[in-house]
Structure 1
Amino acid sequence: AEARRAACEAARAEVDVAAAEVEVARAMLERTRLRAPFGGIVAEVNGEIGEYVTPSPVGVATIPTIDLIDRSCLYVKAPIDEVDAPGIHPGIEARIMVDAFPGQRFSGRVRRVAPYVLDVEKQARTVDVEVEFARPQDAEPMLPGYSADVEIVLARREGVLRVPTEAVLEGNRVYLVRDGKIAEVPFEPGISNWEYTEVLSGLSSGQLVVVSVDRKGLEPGVSVRIERPAGPLTQPQ
């Protein structure tokens, strides 16, 4: 009886050892798995089968083992001049222009303003701003990594006189066509964006403004001939 009891205890001990070994094997197996914190698309894998990886040390940026993209929250990250940062806050209206979709403008809104200023050598100090698409369907055809421009709406004017921004010369001047010749005229600008600049004074509706100001030989007094007049370029909006 004693021998049987001892054999039974030994068998139980072997079972316990085997169970412990199974748990160790499970723990080792778990260490071979990388679980993503969210569902997404694997963009890049930086590693080989059987290679050991370790977490990044605190405060030290390292190349991720797996670069995972979450397409459900695409946004545009853009630097802005530090002088414009105080007027920008989450929720403010913005417009997004993506190079892959020329001629299209997408409605957006600021979702985050970085709480610090970047000091880039030989460049102006900037603040990073993140802008998301206002309509989720606009982001569906986008690919992560597309280049884009962002225009943040800080002010809006309705029914004002405006000129194309590309026509504005240094010192707030424009070239007008008067009596078949180029005339240089100063004006007082208001708000502006990449497309248009508001005219507060100095110009009138109906005047012909020269837009291609970078043409060789273009200067005040030069004779011009309008072949296909497109109408006045200074007009109410």
Structure 2
Amino acid sequence: MAATLTLAAALMTLSSCGASSTENTSSATPPKAENVKVQPLTLKSINRVVEYASSLIAYEEVHMAPASPGRIEQITVEVGDRVAQGQLLAIMDQTQLHQAQVQLRNAETDYQRFDTLNKVGGVARQQYDQVKANYDITRSNVAFLTENTRLKAPFSGVVSGKYYENGEMYSGSPTAAGKAAIVSLVQMNRLKTLANVSEQFFPQIKKGMPVSLVCDIYPGRTFTGTVSRIYPTIDAATRTFPVEVELPNADEALRPGMFARVSFELDKVEALLVPAQAILKMQGSDERYLFVADNGKARRVSLKMGQRINDEVEIITNNIQAGDQIIVAGQARLLDGMPVNVMP
């Protein structure tokens, strides 16, 4: 019995030693090198293009209203109507205008009579001046009332809003639509947009420079505009400055309020470009990285993506430089420090 136990213990010892030897041998085996393909990183000259989101706005927009409250006699247009410059849009109650016109006729008669007397010295100069002043004031009042009882379009455009109906009282207060106006008018054949550009590009943005604009609702179509105004100050909170872009819109394909992306083509710069497939994305985050073959091992390099040009992407990082061997195939299975076998 004792001999049996001794033999079993010896067998267990031998088995344990064999397992330990196997583990040591396994841990000493180096990891298998992954086959990869590389491409040298080079500097390339590119046109720096920066893109910003914006919304289109009418080149001109007015909210037509009289100078004082009153009853609306007639609104001559509806929403969507196209109007020409000078076209009548609305007529207000003209009672005050008619009264002022009667006063003007009387004042004009008095002025003509006193003017004749003044030329022959038949009236005191002070009395003549009073009559003339009354005539000038009455004439100015008639002109003011005429302008504010007959609202006319200041430019050719499209009626974009109508906030009252015939016979209603215009109060001068904002309506439910938020406008203190009778009608609104927008110019459609020209539009503009404001892009908030990063302060680092302030020296490169020039008035008159061409700008490209795209809208998602017109895939494949690019619109062209020009920089019409550059705001002179930088917003301290956002470190940006507004740039106004003017866009011709003869076919009226674009409309105020549309979302757009505005692109500015700046000076040529030297940039690091890599094939888009070389860049990997960390799962669950926005972190981007790639691998460099460095002395037979994969070295992970975090980066930021810049401009995309065809199938290449600009990379922004201080951890690699021109001449480094970028892994462009086989990188999906790599970890930092893993051995690699560069394939031709």
TM-score (norm 1): 0.54
Distance 1:32 1:145, change over 3 A: same
Which of 69, 85, 102 does residue 202 from structure 2 map onto?
A: 85
Gaps of 5+ in 1: 1-16, 56-61, 211-216, 224-237
Aligned AA (2:307): N
Structural RMSD (CA): 5.0
- Kindly indicate whether the alpha-carbon contact (under 8 Å) linking 1:81 and 1:126 is maintained by their aligned counterparts in 2: yes
- Are the counterparts in 2 of residues 89 and 110 from structure 1 also a CA contact under 8 Å? yes
Equivalent in the alignment of 1:175:
290
SS of 1:131's partner is strand
Which whole-Å deviations, capped at 9, do the CAs of 1:144-201 have from their partners, x for residues lacking one?
110011121112369984555994889x9732498xx9862468x9x94365426872
**CA distance in structure 1 between the aligned counterparts of 2:159 and 2:330, rounded to whole angstroms:** 52
Q: How high is the sequence identity, in percent, across the aligned residues?
A: 25
Whole-angstrom distance in 2 between the partners of 1:193 and 1:207: 19
- Please give the alpha-carbon distance, in whole angstroms, between the structure 2 residues aligned to 1:112 and 1:166: 40
Gaps of 5+ in 2: 1-98, 106-140, 339-344
How many pairs are equivalent?
185
For residue 141 of structure 1, what is the aligned residue in structure 2? 253
Conserved in 1, the CA contact under 8 Å of 2:228 and 2:245? Answer: yes
Q: Which has the higher helix share?
A: 2
C-alpha contact 1:167 1:209 (8 A) present in aligned 2: no
Equivalent residues of 2:298, 2:337 under 8 A apart: yes
Q: How does 1:59-208 map to 2 (within 5 A)?
A: 63=179, 65=181, 66-118=183-235, 124-133=238-247, 140-156=252-268, 161-164=273-276, 167=279, 174-176=289-291, 184-185=300-301, 192-193=306-307, 196-197=313-314, 201-202=322-323, 207-208=328-329
Q: Which has the higher contact order (CA 8 A, sep 6+)?
A: 2
1:51 aligns with 2:169: yes
Aligned-partner Cα distance in 1 for 2:278–2:161: 41
CA distance in 1, matches of 2:195, 2:278: 22
Instruction: Please state which structure has a larger fraction of its residues in strand.
Output: 2
Q: State whether structure 2 residue 114 is matched by structure 1 residue 32.
A: no
Q: Quick one: structure 1 residues 204 and 131, their matched pair in 2 at CA, closer, same or farther if it must change by over 3 Å?
A: farther
Residues 32/169 of structure 1: CA separation in 2 closer, same or farther (3 Å cut): same
Structure label with greater radius of gyration: 2
1:108-128 deviation line (CA, Å, top 9, x unaligned): 332211233345xxx513211
